[in-house]
Amino acid sequence: MLLTPDADTIVLSQLVEGNPVATIVIDAQHRVTHWNRACAQLTGTPAEKIIGTQEQWRAFYAEPRPIMADLIVEGALEAAVDHFYHGKFKRSELIDGAFEAEDFFPSFGQGGRWLFFTAAAIRNAQGEIIGAIETLQDVTARRSAEEALRKSEERYRQLSLTDSLTGLFNSRFLHQRLKTEMERAARYQRPLALLVLDCDNFKSINDRFGHLDGDKVLQALAGVIASCLRSSDSGFRYGGEEFVLLLPETTADAARMLAERLRVSFADEVVESVTGLPIRCTVSIGVAESFGCESENSLIRRADDASYEAKRRGKNCVFVAESPT
């Protein structure tokens, strides 16, 4: 038995009103014909303020603009949908001609809500669009859980890459980063420098003041390192009192100047011991510029040997390694 138009309307009303999912129906003139209880509860806008109007946008936006159902009524060209929901929408895999999207609505609830919405055309027997139906679901809890998981994963990733005492990267990440930078420098024939820093007389500081104060000295050096680095540079705690700096797009001469600036800054640093006594420390720095023919271990070894040469020459100085033979 075919339903009459009146019967169709009654059935649609029953389906929409009985739906626990927030649902909006508009006609071909963009007038709201249905705005169920779930939608009123979700948006905070009662049905009597919306039904019969073309102002469905007021429940979602501060200024007039189409909701997804309006775009469906207008023919739902993908370019038009992209204009309003760029990067947030896709075609429905379940409903032919429908679109779905996910967006954040800051005016909903406390702190805003994330909504997932799907809009599809309502057609007559001739296949003509006579309206559109849109459903909306609050997915804030899922998005919050996803964000918490993302932050947790990022936190664990950072912990796996950073030294807990100094906040610099650890030696494990050094080898990953160094491989990438050396390959890039060789491919594009760009300079790359590596510095090895070693705290002078660090054992005597630990012996005299204790390991807690020794840790404070290392943290102070890490702070000086961080203040001297560019955004493209990386600092690593290599082990114990030894640190490594990786400097892309940097020649040996430029790296030497940075090393001198770092050496002077740290020599001026005064660390207060647990008992209130001042602690001063210096650093010996070895500089090596990468050459395309050498390995990662070769570059590190040359910079490390240069730092030992700096110590041999009286400490608190910078020594630049020669190119590999």
Active site residue ranges? 241
Angle at 294 (CA atoms; ends 289, 298), nearest 5 degrees = 75
* Cα–Cα dist 244/286, whole Å: 10
Q: Which residues contact 201 (CB under 8 A, 6 or more apart)?
A: 281, 282, 315
Residue 52: left if φ>0, alpha if ψ -120 to 50, beta else—which one? left
User: Which residue reads 């030294």 in tokens?
Assistant: 163
Enclosing H/E stretch for 179: helix 171-188
User: Which residue reads 């019969």 in tokens?
Assistant: 52
Pairing, β 318-320 against β 283-289:
parallel
Q: In a 10 Å sphere around its CB, with 0-12 CB exposed, 13-18 middle and 19+ buried, how is residue 95 labelled?
A: middle
